[in-house]
């Protein structure tokens, strides 16, 4: 039986047998000083602040025995999966593949590419390495989720204006019922977070639903 989660624009019908949590790109590259996000000139402390809420959300799913999926934005060491346009983009002092304080930016296996310690995946959880901003491009995730019978996705992670929003829109187009946990996601720009949330819930939930962690905790227990 579905669990009704109080949400915007109306209650989200969470199907406990077919729901997965997707935690997007909570990796050091975006959250700690010296990484890719910092190199782009962003205030990474804004993102670090959501770690306790994301941890609480992961804990809720683990307690229920529900699937937890983590993603990372990652490129191969030879950057063969990174379009030259992506490397060229911007005026950052360090570009993708160049070496910063946490190793090569956005490169597999480097210290900066690890999920922050307090949110580290545990045995049985899935880690998806994605070369794009969206979680479906070149990952096999759609086939994996369909094979598991997953129909509902609860989303968290960073950043809401880039990888989270791209992934949620792509999931919505693929027929997944998506709920974004609003205090378990963050932007480098406060106005972008507010706008992204309004874009998702507008027009009757054109992209999906939004709710705070407390709403899930109260409804699920
Ligand atoms: N720059 C920025 O806001 N985000 C990214 O580049 N990737 C993700 O959002 N993960």
- pLDDT (0 to 100) of residue 9: 98
| Interior angle at CA 131, CA 27 and CA 194, nearest 5 | 60
- Give the DSSP letter string of the chain: --EEE--BSS-EEE-TTSEEEEEE--BHHHHSTTSHHHHTT--THHHHTTHHHHHHHHHHHHHHT-EEEEEEE-B-TT-TTS-HHHHH-S--SS-TTSEETTEETTBTTSGGGSBPGGG---TT-EEEEESSSSSSTTT-HHHHHHHHT--EEEEEEE-IIIIIHHHHHHHHHTT-EEEEEEEEEE-SSHHHHHHHHHHHHHHHHSS-EEE-HHHHHHHH-
Identify whether 163 is a catalytic site residue.
Answer: yes
**Atom from ligand 1 closest to the CA of residue 163:** 9
Query: Ligand 1 pocket, 162 CB below 6 A?
Result: yes
Q: In whole angstroms, give the CA distance from residue 4 to residue 6.
A: 6
| Ligand 1 centre distance from Cα of residue 17 (Å) | 31
pTM of the predicted model over 0.85: yes
Average pLDDT, the chain: 97
CB of 163 sitting under 6 A from ligand 1? yes
* Any ligand 1 atom below 6 A from CB of 73: yes
130 is catalytic: yes
pLDDT tops 90 at residue 91: no
Cis peptide before 159 (omega within 30 of 0): yes
pLDDT digits (tens, 9 = 90+) for 101-146: 999 999 999 999 999 999 999 999 999 999 999 999 999 999 999 9
pLDDT given for residue 212 in this prediction: 98
Looking only at the bridges linking them, the beta strands covering 67-73 and 126-130 are parallel
- What percent of the chain has a predicted confidence (pLDDT) above 90? 97
Q: Which atom of ligand 1 is nearest to the CA of 27?
A: 10
pLDDT tens-digit map of 47-60: 999 999 999 999 99
pLDDT over 90 (residue 203)? yes
Q: Is the pLDDT of residue 90 over 90?
A: no
* Ligand 1 pocket, mutate which of 91, 162, 167 (most atoms under 8 A from CB): 162
* Candidates 130, 133, 178, 193; catalytic one: 130
Q: Which atom of ligand 1 is nearest to the CA of 161?
A: 3
Query: Does residue 115 have its Cβ closer than 6 Å to ligand 1?
Result: no
25 annotated active-site: yes
């Amino acid at each position: 039986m579905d669990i009704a989660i109080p949400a915007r624009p109306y209650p989200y019908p969470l199907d406990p047998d077919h729901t997965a949590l997707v935690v997007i790109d909570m990796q050091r590259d975006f959250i700690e000083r010296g990484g890719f996000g910092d190199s782009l000139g962003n205030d990474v402390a804004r993102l670090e602040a959501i770690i306790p809420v994301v941890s609480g959300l992961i804990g809720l799913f683990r307690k229920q025995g529900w699937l937890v999926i983590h993603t990372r934005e990652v490129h191969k060491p030879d950057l063969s999966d990174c379009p030259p346009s992506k490397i060229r983009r911007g005026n950052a002092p360090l570009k993708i593949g160049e070496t910063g304080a946490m190793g090569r930016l956005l490169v597999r296996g480097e210290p900066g590419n690890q999920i922050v310690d307090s949110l580290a995946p545990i045995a049985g959880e899935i880690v998806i390495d994605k070369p794009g901003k969206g979680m479906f491009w070149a990952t096999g995730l759609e086939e994996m989720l369909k094979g598991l019978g997953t129909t509902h996705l609860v989303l968290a992670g960073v950043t809401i204006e880039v990888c989270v929003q791209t992934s949620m829109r792509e999931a919505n187009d693929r027929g997944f019922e998506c709920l974004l946990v609003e205090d378990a996601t963050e932007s480098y720009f406060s106005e972008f977070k507010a706008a992204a949330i309004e874009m998702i819930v507008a027009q009757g939930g054109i992209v999906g639903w939004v709710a705070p962690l407390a709403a899930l905790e109260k409804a699920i227990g």
